[in-house]
């Protein structure tokens, strides 16, 4: 319950604000760069804290780190909501994102520590679904607040919405989270590994938040990322040769199921966020609908995701890992269907048609997110549970930064000029998102062959991610 509350609180925050950005911009007289940092800066520091937070939790225990991160999230959320200048809101959002990243890295580690077998798969599923539904509900809540209270009070209330949720979660965590314990034994923190990982995360995400001005500048960022990745790899090998525990547990990069599952998660996560952003832009700027109407179009996705997630584990018992492939294939069909609706439906019928597509999109997400996450994290050893979860979430954040920048850029480019058409631009952007899901589907289909595990899915035994539950450990 505590982990679900934390996921809902921190992941709702960004989605509920996105639809209030126009009101925020007018209220603060903020420039385009300011708005970009207010929105994307949260994701940047969120991603930046995931691996260090996971490593700290593995070495020092998770409860107090969870409480510190959530306290920072709540406090600086209030600072952002009452800010009167763009720089104050930017700084508060950066700290708030770091607190959210610290919290979520402890959540994954705690679930890995406490649960086993089917119980772990269900706990990971509930966490993933709670966060996904919260993110899907965000636009509807944000649009309602702006419509009900007006632009300026509305965007401030969007930022304050998580304060009562965060305070309740803090109280629950203080009472119910397990006593802090070290899962990595007497290992010392790999400070150099943390430094190289943080620098690499910045090099990968910053170019998509603050777009390079020229091709040479973009090439410089790319070269810097490659160099930092090499430095991290060399430092990790040196640490292993000297008999010390590296930041990235050696079993993680060697595990094909872990790396392939992470790649599937990156493609599906990036595609999902980019498709939602472009849909919101199309409805508001392309069709001229209100924020509330646009939010209502996206609402069926949250409802369908909750329902499909509730039955996903029954599908998993029959299909095993192929459940993920089924969800990805359904996701591709919904994106293609959305493109077809945008190109052919009459203007009056567009909102209803796209809402129906969102219903199917939510069902597809419910079959994909939680089962894939369970498949990935079952390969993480107990002493690296926090880092494994942090790497998975960080990879998803990086993928989201890339996809959001590329797909939204594709849409905006398609709407400019005398021949620009919002309908055509939305259809093209949907096809790009479908292409990402197609790549994930291929990886999901090839996963049994590439991992050397061609056995049919088992319904019992502790080696399978959906096995019968082992005795729960506190």
Between residues 102 and 179, the one the model is more confident about: 102
Between residues 447 and 337, the one the model is more confident about: 337
C-alpha dihedral sign at 406, 248, 126, 369: positive
What is the helix, strand, coil percentage profile of the chain, to 5?
80, 0, 20
pLDDT at 185: 52
CATH of domain 1-179: 1.20.1250.20
Q: Which residues 6+ apart lie within 8 Å of 44 measured at CB?
A: 94, 97, 202, 205, 206, 209, 401
Is the distance from CB of 98 to CB of 92 less than 8 angstroms?
A: no
- CA–CA dist 258, 246 (Å, integer): 18
Average per-residue pLDDT for the chain: 82
pLDDT(193) > 90: no
pLDDT at 215: 81
Architecture of domain 255-452 in this structure: Up-down Bundle (1.20)
Q: What is the separation of C-alpha 384 from the centre of its chain, rounded to a whole number of angstroms?
A: 20
Q: Where in the chain is the domain with CATH 1.20.1250.20?
A: 1-179, 255-452
- CA–CA dist 95, 72 (Å, integer): 7
- CA–CA dist 9, 268 (Å, integer): 22
Q: Which residues 6+ apart lie within 8 Å of 73 measured at CB?
A: 9, 10, 13, 96, 99, 100, 103, 162, 166
- CA–CA dist 105, 45 (Å, integer): 13
- CA–CA dist 208, 186 (Å, integer): 38
- Of 268, 244, 240, 270, the C-alpha closest to 254 is 240
DSSP string, 454-472: -SPPPSSSTTSTTPPP---
Reported as a pLDDT band with limits 50, 70 and 90, residue 450 is low
- Count Cβ atoms below 10 Å from residue 451 Cβ, excluding itself: 17
**185-189-192 Cα angle (round to 5):** 150
Q: Return the DSSP state at 71.
A: H
Extract the tokens encoding 65.
Answer: 């780190």
Is the distance from CB of 263 to CB of 402 less than 8 angstroms?
A: no
The per-residue pLDDT for range 15-28, each reduced to its tens digit, is: 788 777 778 888 88
Local structure of 456: helix, strand or coil: coil
User: What angle separates helix 256-281 from helix 291-319, to the nearest 10 degrees?
Assistant: 160
The per-residue pLDDT for range 395-447, each reduced to its tens digit, is: 888 887 778 778 887 888 888 776 678 999 999 999 999 999 999 999 998 87
User: What angle separates helix 117-149 from helix 151-160, to the nearest 10 degrees?
Assistant: 160
In the chain, the percentage of residues whose pLDDT exceeds 90 is 25
DSSP string, 101-125: HHHHHHHHHHHHHH--HHHHHHHHH
pLDDT at 338: 94
- CA–CA dist 20, 31 (Å, integer): 15
Reported as a pLDDT band with limits 50, 70 and 90, residue 107 is confident
pLDDT(474) > 80: no
- Count Cβ atoms below 10 Å from residue 330 Cβ, excluding itself: 20
For tokens 């992941």, the residue is: 11
Reported as a pLDDT band with limits 50, 70 and 90, residue 473 is very low
Q: CA distances (Å), 11 to each of 85, 114, 346, 438, 471, in order?
A: 24, 22, 35, 26, 31
pLDDT at 358: 93
Extract the tokens encoding 199.
Answer: 């620098």
Q: Which residues 6+ apart lie within 8 Å of 244 measured at CB?
A: 187, 188, 190
Reported as a pLDDT band with limits 50, 70 and 90, residue 274 is confident
C-alpha dihedral sign at 289, 294, 274, 206: positive
């Amino acid at each position: 319950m505590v982990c679900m509350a934390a996921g809902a609180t921190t992941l709702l925050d960004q989605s509920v604000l996105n639809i209030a950005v126009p009101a925020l911009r007018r209220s603060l007289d903020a420039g385009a760069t300011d708005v970009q940092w207010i929105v994307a800066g949260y994701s940047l520091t969120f991603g930046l804290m995931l691996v260090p937070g996971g490593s700290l939790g593995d070495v020092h225990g998770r409860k107090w780190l969870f409480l510190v991160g959530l306290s920072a999230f709540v406090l600086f959320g209030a600072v952002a909501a009452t800010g009167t200048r763009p720089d104050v809101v930017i700084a508060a959002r950066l700290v708030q994102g770091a607190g959210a990243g610290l919290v979520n890295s402890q959540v994954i580690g705690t679930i890995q520590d406490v649960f086993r077998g089917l119980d772990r798969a269900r706990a990971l599923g509930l966490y993933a679904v709670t966060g996904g539904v919260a993110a899907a509900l965000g636009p509807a809540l944000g649009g309602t607040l702006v419509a009900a209270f007006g632009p300026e009070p509305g965007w401030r209330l969007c930022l304050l919405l998580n304060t009562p949720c965060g305070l309740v979660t803090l109280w629950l965590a203080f009472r119910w989270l397990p006593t802090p314990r070290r899962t990595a034994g007497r290992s010392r923190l790999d400070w150099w590994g943390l430094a190289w990982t943080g620098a690499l995360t910045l090099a990968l995400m910053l170019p998509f938040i603050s777009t390079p001005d020229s091709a040479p500048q973009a090439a410089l960022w790319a070269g810097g990322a490659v160099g930092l990745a090499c430095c991290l790899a060399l430092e990790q090998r040196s640490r292993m040769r000297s008999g010390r525990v590296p930041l990235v547990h050696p079993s993680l990069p060697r595990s094909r199921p872990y790396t392939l599952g992470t790649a599937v998660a990156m493609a599906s996560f990036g595609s999902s966020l980019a498709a939602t952003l472009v849909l919101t832009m199309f409805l508001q700027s392309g069709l001229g609908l209100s924020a509330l109407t646009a939010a209502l179009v996206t609402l069926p996705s949250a409802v369908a995701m909750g329902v499909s997630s509730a039955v996903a584990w029954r599908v998993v018992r029959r299909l095993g890992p192929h459940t993920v492939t089924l969800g990805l294939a359904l996701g591709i069909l919904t994106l293609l269907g959305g493109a077809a609706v945008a190109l052919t439906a009459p203007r009056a019928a567009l909102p209803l048609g796209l809402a129906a597509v969102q219903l199917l999109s939510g069902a597809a997400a419910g079959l994909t997110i939680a089962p894939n996450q369970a498949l990935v994290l079952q390969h993480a050893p107990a002493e690296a549970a926090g880092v494994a979860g942090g790497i998975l979430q960080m990879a998803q954040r990086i993928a989201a930064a890339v996809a959001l920048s590329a797909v939204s850029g594709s849409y905006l480019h398609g709407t400019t000029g005398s021949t620009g058409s919002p309908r055509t631009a939305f259809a093209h952007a949907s096809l790009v998102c479908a292409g990402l899901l197609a790549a994930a589907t291929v990886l999901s289909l090839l996963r049994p062959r590439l991992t050397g595990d061609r056995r049919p899915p088992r319904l019992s035994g502790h080696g399978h991610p959906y096995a019968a539950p082992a005795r729960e450990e506190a």
